[in-house]
Amino acid sequence: MPVKFVWSLVQTLPGEHMDVQTQTDSKTIRFNSRRYDQATGSSIGFQCKPQQKTTTTGDVIGGEISPRTGDVGAGALIALKADPVLQTATAARTVSAVRGVEVNIDFPDSGSAYTITNHVNAFRTFLDMGSGHTVSGRKSVFLIATPNTSGWQHLIESEAASGVHSVTAGTYSTADGYFNVYVAGTAYRVPFFAGVD
């Protein structure tokens, strides 16, 4: 029988990290892994919203997840698994949308004037792999797994016909470059053409 605690205030020694650990390797730290019975409002498992109140040269990071192997072999090494589940329904149910990961970058309106000295990215990936490693599979930024039943329709969808792309009736004959893709065991190239930034 698990022992449950309700903490209204947790204090640590000044200058020390708060260290929360399980005593058994096979057990996890769980936050709000329970049923929610409210009929209105969002049900949120946990929040972490640090707010920097003094100008700093350091980064402000909402959360860091860094699983690692210590000179041992392992199964898959997964930094973060997003696994939304629609459980079996006993009747017709309606869910407005399902999103594996949602990234909302929120800047203030034109009344503010921030200067971002580098890029703004929804996703940034960095592969640091030494030459001595052996990868039996391919190295891809995105892998679309084989579906159990029905799969995806589109690789990308844009809600508006502006911004990151444009729709024209023109045709192109010679590509300026291409992306390498791998589809169902065959390598393909997706061409791209010089445009206006």
Contacts (Cβ under 8 Å, ≥6 apart) of 34? none
Phi/psi at 177 (nearest 5 deg)? Answer: 180, -175
167: confidence class by pLDDT, cuts 50, 70, 90:
low
Determine which of 110-114, 160-164, 180-184 has the lowest per-residue pLDDT on average.
160-164
Residue with tokens 């023109």: 170
Which pLDDT does position 111 carry in this prediction? 83
User: Taking the complete model, does pTM exceed 0.75, yes or no?
Assistant: yes
Which pLDDT does position 11 carry in this prediction? 63
Q: Which residues pair with 186 in a beta bridge?
A: 183
Which pLDDT does position 139 carry in this prediction? 92
Cα separation of 116 and 47, whole Å? 26
147, two tokens: 């579906």
Decide: 85 and 100 in contact? Cβ < 8 Å: no
Which pLDDT does position 33 carry in this prediction? 92
Which pLDDT does position 184 carry in this prediction? 84
Q: Is the pLDDT of residue 3 over 70?
A: no
Distances (CA, A) of 17 to 46, 60, 64, 167: 20, 17, 14, 53
Distances (CA, A) of 95 to 88, 89, 91, 144, 153: 13, 12, 13, 23, 19
Average pLDDT over residues 54-58: 96
DSSP for residue 111: T
Average pLDDT over residues 82-103: 94
SS (H, E, C) 140-179: CCCCCCCCCCCCCCCCCCCCCCCCCCCCCCCCCCCCCEEE
Contacts (Cβ under 8 Å, ≥6 apart) of 161? 167
Q: What is the average pLDDT score of the chain?
A: 88
Phi/psi at 181 (nearest 5 deg)? Answer: -130, 160
